[in-house]
Structure 1
């Protein structure tokens, strides 16, 4: 028996071997399938649910620091990082309040927008101390008219962990801030208790302080000190400077030398040697703003002022030069030349507060720069 083969060329042109009624039923079946498919797709499209909007506000997970644990001093920088539960966008400059030993300091946002970590920069100022750096409270993060939002526009919850908690800065790190004030207090206590009493009563120890760039030398002014370098020869408020050194930035300070003005009429009553200080390398400038005599110890002009320059060779500081204002009518009574000093390499800037030609309540600051004879 011969096997028959049926072929379908198209819905319009069908092989003659298929009868027209069969072709009709095939067409109806295909049309039904097509209609059913369209209806199903339509139902799926109609019943599809819209995406759920993001209404979850970002929140703070922890506060930490990329700065290693340790002790930091004046001028050091500490990065404080606030981590959120999701990336956030920052506009403006939010602020963070940190707690120091005797005050609260506000630091500014620096970087981190569009990430989940915001960075705040703390630059340690003079006289700032903290035994374990932390922020002030759970509300220490302030917008300061800025905004912190997620990508959906939700405002962030700014509440921080309790200071000292496991998610706080203090709980995560041991950052000690030890600026010059605390070190200076230790200096006078150690010195008085272990050495001869070279400083007089009411000497105003610490009225001025100069700190070397490497952190290994500190000079402490005592402008109302009455005693000389050996603790003798009383002259009221003649003034002095105490020098301390250390081997490393974590070593204890060691008293090195007491300096007083030298030369004719150098130590006179109320000259207030040490009222201002500047230190650069092994060169020290000392202001004596009430010094009455010129560079040679002559020509009395009350309160004209002077500056003394010292250099160190080995462990000994020696006076190199006495500087006074120069020029016509330069030395005027109560000019207080040496009220402030600033030193850079071999250039010295000297400030004076002039009152001689003006009412007593008026004060102006003038600056004169002097090259001096240093040791090279």
Structure 2
């Protein structure tokens, strides 16, 4: 009987090793670097060797959009902040769609148009005033062009909240709640599009709450109003946004995590910025959002999530940490392993690309399976 149990377990392991991990995740594909591989190589790498099934761009780079054609990897493109006022007029929105979407869609699976990035945080009254009108006209332009599968949204920082602790107290900033966010959430409800947010525990932790931010064991933070004990800051930030939305009557609108992450290298005055903490945050984040567990206030909900970022970008301004958010180095080797590589791909994918692509990789993969099988035959079987 014990033999049969072990044999069954081995067969299960062999099955798992021959199939891609069930996890899926999105990444922000930034390009502020002078050493990145060509987009065609990036697209091939992501499709063949990772579980990354969606990317988010900070522009509408035609070279990247062409490279991702026929990969079925979902792509989010971003309207430049400065283009927003003009796009509040339908002819301009139609022209933008004709130039930036029509030549590539549907061969390239463009799933979202993000209208600007963290516009409320800019405090630019002109941009803020034109944001929702531009979202509406772009949605209308897509409908007129027959592109009903492309959805429109805009990412927000957590600075849109005036209160977030405890999560049940979450509310939008006074003056913006009814004038900006209520009509915007109404737009999302009517168009069945998600409210995009950029939660970053990395920017919100203190020395006392580091483990809480990293999904590491901690006593948690209790919300007396709901009776929920929060053991990670990510859930708390999402529930604070949810509380603000529900307060306006829009708790049913979908949430999408457009950016979140943790850098793997920082300056001397950033002791919490290191490889171990990046692995803890991003690895636990991926497992958490893919679990379908949801949050205390949104149980059972699964949030489409985009990690920042795909690559370390050597031309980003600011601290060392800003240039070290990437999951991958420019040579396509992982900075660290958080489970986004397909089975057996870690450390070998870039070599396989250079030495014969997918066929070369399959030979390596097959060799591993044979070694596992013979180890069972010659080591385990003699024990019975």
Give the number of the structure whose residues are more often strand, by fraction.
1
Q: Which has the higher contact order (CA 8 A, sep 6+)?
A: 2
Give your verdict on TM over 0.5. Answer: no
Instruction: Please state which structure has a larger fraction of its residues in helix.
Output: 2
TM-score (norm: length of structure 2)? 0.22
Question: Which structure: larger Rg?
Answer: 1
* TM-score normalised per structure 1: 0.22
